[in-house]
Structure 1
Amino acid sequence: MPPKRAALPTKERGLFQRLIQEYETKKYKLGLKTADTILKKFPEHGETLSMKGLLLGSTHRREEGIELAKKGVRLDLTSFICWHALGILHRQDKNYEEAIKCYTQALRIEGGGNINLLRESAFLQLQLRNYPPMVENRLTLLRMQPHLRMNWIGLAVARHLAGSLDAAVCVLEGYENVMRDIPDRSYEYSEALLYHASVLEEQSKFQESLDVMENGAERIVDLRAKQEAQARCLAGLGKKDEAEALWRQLIKSNPENKRYFAGLLNLLGITEGAMDSKAVEVFKGLQADHPKSTAAKRLALIHATGEDFKSQATAYIKSALVKGVPSLFSDLKSLYQDPAKQATIEEIVETLRLEWAPTTASSPDGTDPPTSYLWSLYYLAQHYSLTGDSPRALHYIDSAIGHSSTLPELHMVRARILKRSGDLSAASSAMTDARLLDGQDRFLNSKAAKYLLRTDCTEEAERIVGLFTKPDAPSPTYDLNEMQALWYLVEEAESFLRVKNYGMALKRLVQLEKTFQEFWDDQLDFHSYCMRKMTLRSYVDLVRFEDGIRSHPVYVRAATAAISIYTKLHDEPSTPAFIDTSTETEDPALTGLSESEKKKLLKKQRQAEAKRLAKQEAEAAEKKRKAEEAAANGESIDDDGPKPDNDPKGLEVFKSSVEAPLKQAERWLRWLQQNSASRSETWVAVFEVAVRERNWLLATRALKKLQNLEGKTARVGGMAIRLKSKLPDLKGAPKPIGTVIETALSSVIAADKPLATFFAELLQGTDASTPEGMFANARTALLLDRKEEAVALLLNLPSNVESVTGPRSSNKALQTTVAARTLLAELSEGSVAEFDGKAREVFPLASAFKSRETLEQEKREREEKLKGWSKGEEVVEEGEGKANGSASYEPLM
């Protein structure tokens, strides 16, 4: 039985009431004194102990506070105050599951009539996406306080998010009926009306949505949002003329808003990419109505064809090049999905380049500025890089740099070209050149650091980003982690992974995972804020965005890297956290000293280091004391200073991962399956973990999902062979499980088909001649103990790399070729030279296939070119492309 609650005498009851008031008014120091006064006479009074724990938790003594609050609950299980205090502490610790349990228990004891408990519970349930209990709490609040608008809106949003749209509409109608004395131009009421209309539109009740906006037309403040909603609803009702008039009115108000053009085109039945006379006529009319609209000219290029496209594209491109628009290529590259348009754009820009070349003097009147030629080179360099002709792209960008060597954008494009072609060291050098041209540009420095990380120069990258981080931070990486710089964390983690520093790689990946958890936790404050400010449509978008926050590409990259480490630790438990490659060198200060002098100097250095550490500890202790004192007085603390890094080399993270690596991987896998089920990486990772755990049902499910995404590729076939070779006898498995596995696996490989026969079919498959297919088949051959066949497949892989049409396919083929080289080096080191020779024919600039001597020579050549650029000399001459492994091109100037 729970212990009986000790009733306090009158004097102590008054002190306890004062204790609650002191907590609510943030007089924590006085509150602690009051609590101690009560506890001197009644040391086992549960409610006082819980309140003291809450006060301690509010003064940055969280662990001590939670222990006291738990003790208070044990002493008085029937007090809602004890449960409420413990729930608040769990919520502050972001332990929402435990917090909601405490709030639920407190409500059960209180009888469900405590408004604060109900409101806080509703927010926590929304944070956990527990919609049914959240709706119940919101309904209870509305019944208790029907005069508060926030309770009406809270219930409507709760029902909307829970999927009960009809119920949400009923609540909003009730809210509008009870509202009285609404001030003119009330944003809150306007937003409620638009939100009401949006819920009806979501139900496809377009006429009712229009009626809501029409009846409240005088109250709606956001006229643009109302017009957009009306246009969509009219289109839904089939009233095309009225909808078209609204879209054209919106375009007139803002002729650069592409969303308005998209609405009009969708209404007229013109789909994106459609090439018909109707679309051309529509855009001719729009361009006539809005001659200064860049959006109208750009969107017309999507639908125009033939000579019409060429004439419009010529005008659009020439205008942008004359103005010197650096983003022109980014603007037009989506058109390259059509090979005909790609060829036409290339012809247009090449023609303009020749017209503007200084030697042709085709502009005697001087109408075209000399920079037009430079921007045409800049565009063509990006164009040829995208189409896979890296040597020609370098030819153009080198000429542009010779024309104007102080323009950072040119060096950035050169770096990008080299990166896509596989020469990461040269790319990093080029990006550093761009950075040095404008040392105060944060973007350029960040790009330079990113390229350095890809060459595994982590220390230099950290130094560069440190130019823009807080000077008092323990390290630049510490500050970047605080600023939630996802790009840096994931790039550095992958760099550490490449050099097999698993400890630091895991540390960065864990930090990145915590950052995404912070993204999720940050929404808790908006649950109440958005209700008060009535930003309801944006709030619903926020909640739905947060539901898929872990589908972000950076999270997928991090999860894939983390799972690869965990599976390696499972396969090789003796894997070290890192391999120390540093060599001990004598301190220059000790050079020339005798042994006794060295000992004295080392002793002084140790004493100085000890004093420095003691000073740091004293400063940290003083800072902590001041923070606790300020919190106890109810003062806000903006920053309590950086916390020391207790795991500078990631050894603690690595140690915790070695114990149960696959259990650690499951945490990442759950999020991937929930948020990124449409990505192949997810199911490959699930398969790898499931096979190691001998979870055959999950492995079969992953294989089936991957087959649905990719089809019957060589990779899927290889994974099927791997699974079937490891499967135990399914006759002994429970009937449903065995049947399910057999049925699913038979869709990939027939049950009675020998593995050797199936592998022979894979070698004749549709993707068997692609680099990815050959690499997958080589790995499958190894699985079947056919080493010679695997080596043969790997040796032939570079010869089967087809001509690529873009950076994505080029990068994928290059990555596959590099991975094949690594595998070949493990199987037959003597075949690597032959492989490199074939690979250089396909990827002439890729550093992975060059000898050390060649790389050193290219480095010296880059340094010589830099000297030429600094003098403003022309670097690229006719035939220079041969040095880069390409044919010669015509002179550019």
Structure 2
Amino acid sequence: MPPKRAALPTKERTLFQRLIQEYETKKYKLGLKTADTILKKFPDHGETVAMKGLLLGSTNRREEGIELAKRGVRLDLTSFICWHALGILHRQDRNFEEAIKCYTQALRIEGGGNVNLLRESAFLQLQLRNYPPMVENRLTLLRMQPHLRMNWIGLAVAHHLAGSLDAAVRVLEGYENVMRDIPDRNYEHSEVLLYHASILEEQSRFQDALDEIENGNERIVDLRGKQEAQARCLAGLGKKDEAEAIWRQLIKSNPENKRYFAGLLSLLGITEGSSTDSKAVEIFKGLQADHPKSTAAKRLALIHTTGDDFKTQATAYAKSALIKGVPSLFSDLKSLYSDAAKLAALEEIVETLRLEWAPATSAPTDGTDPPTSYLWSLYYLSQHYSLTGSSEKALHYIDSAISHSSTLPELHMVRARILKRAGDTLSASSAMSDARLLDGQDRFLNSKSAKYLLRSNDTVEAERIVGLFTKPDAPSPTYDLNEMQALWYLVEEAEAHLRTSNWAMALKRVEQLQKVFQEFWDDQLDFHSYCMRKMTLRSYVGMVRFEDGLRSHPAYVRAAKAAVAIYTKLHDEPSTAPFVAKEEEEDPALAGLSESEKKKLLKKQRQAEAKRLAKAESEAAEKKKKAEEAAANGDAVEDEGPKPDLDPQGLEIFKTTLENGPLKAAEKWLRFLQANAADRTETWEATFEVAIRQKNWLLATRAVVALHKLGGEVTEEVVRLKTRLPDLKAAPKPIGSVISAALGQVIPADKPVATFFAEALQRSAASTPKGMLGNAKAALALDRKDEAVGLLLNLPATVEAFTGPRAKNVALKTTVEARALLAKLDASSVAEFDEKARAVFPLANAFKSEATLEEERKARDEKREKWAKGVEQKSEEGAANGEAAKEPLM
């Protein structure tokens, strides 16, 4: 039986009411004194104990507060105040599951009539996507306070998100009927009307949506949003002429908005690559005549034009941009490269322009084009040839451009990108450093340099570079970047550590990125109430749906892939060291000292470090004390500053992962991937690797089938699964039959694995680098090591036939992976493989010897030194002439 609640005398009951008021008015210090006064006489009064815990939790003493609140609940299980206080503390700790349990219990005890509890519970239910209880809470709130518009809107949004669109429409109709005396041009009411219309449109009730807009036409403030909705609804009703008139009116209002052009084309049934391209050409000719200054009209026309029309329009578009010096021209046009004819046409166009503008050309020119046009044509072509796999030609063009204008950072950046795609990550990093040094105050250039350093596995120098722009009082630059939620840095460093076998640090970085995404998810709680108050309903629904697919973000998928690689490595080899130990270089300060002098110096260093740590601890304690005092008085709490990193090398998280089971840790990532990125092959490849190790045959089969449906080559997975799969006849009836039926979509049940593998070797996919690597792994699963080695040795020869934009870049990654596998199987064959790979990828570091890499490093250093001397000499000459030393563009 729960302890009976002790009733307070009149005096203490008055004090308790004051205690609640002091909490609500943020007079926490006074509240603590009032609570202590009550507890002196009644130390076991549960509600006072819980309120004291809530006060402590609000004054930066969260752990003490939660313990006291839990004690208060134990002392008085029938008090809704105790449960509410504990729920608030759990919500502040982002422990939403426990918070909603406390709120639910508080509501049950209180009788369900507490408005604040109902409202907070509804927000928490939405945060957890528990739609049925959220709708129930919203309905109760509306019945209690029908005069508040927020309760009407809250219920409508709850029904909408829960999928009950008819109920949402009925609530909004009721809201509009009871609303009276609304001022003209009221933004909040305008948003409600457009939101109502958007739900009707979602239901395909286009005429009703149009009527809703028409009835509230004078009150709608967002004219563009209204017109877009009208155009879509008219199109849905088949009234194309009226819809077309609206889309054209919108284009006239903003001829650079590509969404308006897309709406018009969709209305007319025109899609990229469709048989109506000739119609699209005529439409765009009219649009360009109506809006001659519209860049969007000219660019979108290139998608639908072909042949001579394409060449004519593309020439005008590219020439105009090159003359203006638009650096982003290639990024703008490269999406057209999926069409081989357009790719060849663009190459011919820009090559012709380059020859026309070349300084030594004999072709007549009218002299109207600026001399920089030649430079930007080289810039474009270097990117073009890099994307199409002609790295040597790309380097020739960009080197010509750099000799033309060596002080333009964009040129060095493109050179770095060309080298990176060619596999020379070390030279790429050096080239990006050249770009950075041309403008040391540019944060973007410094960030790109750090990224390329990470690609070359130089994590120390990368951290130093990013440290130029991070907070100076942070424990480390990486610590600050983690606080700033810099996804690109965390994932790049994780992959760098993974390549250098620093498993502990790689694991730490991917876990940090996981926490960042969890923070993204948790932060939406604040917007549930904010967006309701501001009535930004359409944007709010879009945000909630975006959050539902949050973990489909490319950075998360990359991190998950790295995480699964670590977990499977630790499962396969539990004795794996957290990192590969490196020989530590001797401290330069100790050079030339005797042993006794070294000991003295080291002792001094240790004493100095101990003093520094003691000082830091005392400062942290003082800051914490001041923060608690400020919070107790209801004042703003100053930033406590960075907290110390208790696991700087990732050893604790590495140890914990091993103890709890690596594959169990991988399940967390896989659940998110399967829910958010089911259309990515990386999701099911990772799922298969974990499932096959867990002997979860049903999940492994599901992964194989999903990969097959996505168009992936599944020879390796099928062979590995079939060779390990136990006798399905002996399996429980549902499981065995389900696996057999699912696998039957990929391989007939009566077909031997060896026959399936032999057929796979004859398929066209087997001649691609990825297909050959997969077949080599399948051969290993069949214990055919010699055949696997032979397939790997022949892999570089398949790259030449693998053409298309980015094809060589993809093939390079596969070839590097194949080399790593070959090194494990037959180290003596690696030299032969490298020789063949160098013929295809002459610049790639992965296939060069250590001696060659060292020679290239020395050559880069000498070149950098000569360049620095040249810059210094020009500076001195400029100073002597009283001018700023700056190399001209031409």
Instruction: Map 1:104-123; keep pairs closer than 5 Å.
Output: 104-123=104-123
Q: What is the aligned partner in structure 2 of residue 156 from structure 1?
A: 156
* Matching residue's letter, 1:470: K
Structure 1 residues 276 and 733, CA, compared in 2 at 3 Å: closer, same or farther? Answer: closer
The Cα shift of 1:594 comes to 4.9
Q: How far did residue 362 of structure 1 move?
A: 4.5
Partner of 1:294: 295
Is 1:532 the equivalent of 2:533? yes
The residue type paired with residue 346 of structure 2 is: I
Name the stretch that deviates more: 171-180 or 442-451: 171-180
Distance 2:451 2:64 in 1: 43
Instruction: Verify: 1:771 aligned to 2:769, yes or no.
Output: yes
For 1:27, the equivalent position in structure 2 comes to 27
Q: Match for residue 886 of structure 1?
A: none
The answer to whether the 8 Å contact 2:356/2:363 transfers is yes
Shift of 1:593: 4.5
Q: Which residue of structure 1 aligns with residue 651 of structure 2? A: 651
What's the offset of the Cα at 1:553? 0.8
After superposition, the Cα gap between the structure-2 partners of 1:268 and 1:584, relative to the gap in structure 1 and judged at 3 Å, is: closer
Q: Does 1:252 align with 2:222?
A: no
Alignment of 1:392-791 (within 5 A): 392-583=393-584, 585=586, 587-659=587-659, 660-710=661-711, 713=713, 716-791=714-789
1:795-814 to structure 2, matched below 5 A, reads 795-806=793-804, 808-814=806-812
2-side partners of 1:596 and 1:684: how far apart?
58
Q: Is the 8 A contact 2:723 2:782 kept in 1?
A: no
Q: Partner letter of residue 193 of structure 2?
A: L
Deviation per CA, 1:807-855: give whole Å up to 9, x if none.
5322221111111111112222221111111111111211111222322
Spell out the pairing of 1:102-181 with structure 2 (5 A cutoff): 102-181=102-181
Q: Is 1:819 equivalent to 2:817 in the alignment?
A: yes
Counterpart Cα distance in 2 of 1:591 and 1:318? 61
Of 841, 844, 847, the match for 1:843: 841
Which segment is superposed worse, 550-559 or 741-750?
Answer: 741-750
**1:749: how far off?**
3.0
Residue 228 (1) aligns with residue 228 (2): yes
Return closer, same or farther for 1:836/1:15 CA change in 2, 3 Å cut-off: same
Letter in 1 for 2:6: A
Q: Deviations over 1:583-602 (max 9, x none)?
A: 252x4444455555444433
Amino acid corresponding to residue 420 of structure 2 in structure 1: K
SS of alignment partner, residue 218 of structure 1: helix
- Report the Cα distance in structure 1 between the residues aligned to 2:685 and 2:320, rounded to whole angstroms: 48
C-alpha distance in structure 1 between counterparts of 2:859 and 2:370, whole Å: 33
Per the alignment, do residues 351 and 592 of structure 1 end up closer, same or farther by CA in structure 2, a change over 3 Å counting? Answer: closer
Spell out, residue by residue over 1:323-346, the C-alpha distance to the aligned partner (whole angstroms, 9 max, x if none).
Answer: 000000111111111111111111
Shift of 1:751: 3.2
Q: Is the 8 A contact 2:394 2:418 kept in 1?
A: yes
| Secondary structure of 1:468's aligned partner | coil
- CA 1:290/1:743 → structure 2, altered by over 3 Å: closer, same or farther? same
1:537 Cα deviation after fit: 0.4
Map of 1:271 onto structure 2 = 271
For residues 576 and 866 of structure 1, what CA distance do their matches in structure 2 show?
A: 38
The answer to whether the 8 Å contact 2:799/2:808 transfers is no
Aligned-pair CA distance for 1:731: 2.8
Aligned-residue RMSD, C-alpha: 1.7
Q: What one-letter code is carried by the residue in structure 1 that aligns with 2:159?
A: R
Q: Does the CA contact (< 8 Å) of 1:697 and 1:741 recur in 2?
A: yes
Label 1:602 to 1:848 Cα distance change in 2 as closer, same or farther (>3 A).
Answer: closer
After superposition, give the CA deviation of every residue in 1:553-604 in whole Å (9 maximum; x if it has no partner): 110111111111111111111111112203252x444445555544443333
Asked whether the equivalents of residues 723 and 781 of structure 2 are also in contact (C-alpha less than 8 Å), the reply is no
After TM superposition, list the pairs within 5 Å mapping 1:6-155 onto structure 2: 6-155=6-155
Taking the aligned partners of 1:870 and 1:268, their CA distance within structure 2 comes to 59
Cα gap change, 1:758 to 1:304, in 2 (>3 Å): closer
The separation in 1 between residues aligned to 2:339 and 2:725, in whole angstroms, is 47
Q: Which moved more, 1:778-787 or 1:746-755?
A: 746-755
Given the superposition, is the C-alpha separation of residues 301 and 752 from structure 1 closer, same or farther in structure 2, using an over 3 Å criterion?
A: closer
Q: Distance in 1 between matches of 2:312 and 2:706?
A: 47
Give the structure 2 partner of residue 883 of structure 1.
none
1:104 and 1:121 in contact (8 A); partners too: yes
Q: Which residue of 2 aligns with 1:316?
A: 317
- Work out the CA distance in 1 between the residues paired with 2:85 and 2:455: 49
Distance 1:827-1:183 versus aligned 2 partners, 3 A rule: same
Q: Does 1:188 align with 2:188?
A: yes
Q: Displacement of 1:78 after TM fit?
A: 0.6
| Separation in structure 2 between the aligned mates of residue 601 and residue 700 of structure 1, nearest angstrom | 63
How far apart, CA to CA, are the structure 2 residues paired with 1:283 and 1:590? 74
- Distance of aligned partners of 1:30 and 1:695 in 2 relative to their CA distance in 1, 3 Å threshold: same
Separation (CA, whole Å) in 2 of partners of 1:593 and 1:856: 31
Question: 2-side partners of 1:34 and 1:734: how far apart?
Answer: 65
Q: Counterparts of 1:158 and 1:308 in 2: how far apart (Å)?
A: 52
Alpha-carbon distance change, 865 to 392 in structure 1, aligned in 2, over 3 angstroms: farther
What is the Cα deviation at residue 514 of structure 1? 0.3
Amino acid corresponding to residue 719 of structure 1 in structure 2: E
Relative distance call for 1:766 and 1:805 in structure 2 (3 A) is closer
- SS of the residue corresponding to residue 750 of structure 1 reads coil
Instruction: After TM superposition, give the deviation of residue 363 of structure 1 in Å.
Output: 5.9
Letter in 1 for 2:518: Q
Give the drift of 1:361: 5.9
CA distance in 1, matches of 2:435, 2:33: 62
Q: How far, CA to CA, are the matches of 2:867 and 2:621 in structure 1?
A: 54
Q: Do the aligned residues in 1 keep the contact of 2:379 with 2:411 (CA within 8 Å)?
A: yes
- Percent identity between the aligned chains? 80
Cα displacement (A) at 1:697: 1.3
The structure-2 alpha-carbon separation of the partners of 1:103 and 1:627, relative to structure 1 and needing over 3 Å to count, comes to: same
When the two structures are superposed, what TM-score results if normalisation uses the length of structure 1?
0.95
The residue type equivalent to 1:617 in the other structure is E
- Residues 1:207 and 2:207 are matched in the alignment: yes
Q: Per the alignment, in what secondary structure is the counterpart of residue 767 of structure 2?
A: coil
Query: Would the aligned equivalents of 1:159 and 1:167 in 2 still touch at CA under 8 Å?
Result: yes
| C-alpha contact 2:198 2:209 (8 A) present in aligned 1 | yes
- 1:746 CA displacement: 3.2
Q: Deviations over 1:355-384 (max 9, x none)?
A: 100112656543111100000000000111
Matched, 1:385 2:386: yes
The C-alpha deviation readout for 1:712-768, integer Å capped at 9, x for no partner, is: x2xx12222212222222233211111112222233333333332222222222311
Q: What secondary structure does 2:368 align onto? A: coil
Task: Specify whether residues 469 and 802 from structure 1 end up closer, same or farther in structure 2 by C-alpha distance, changes over 3 A only.
Answer: same
Instruction: Please list the CA deviations of residues 219-278 of structure 1 after superposition, one character each: whole Å capped at 9, or x if unmatched.
Output: 111111111111111111111111111111111111111111111111122212346322
Q: TM-score, normalised by structure 2?
A: 0.96
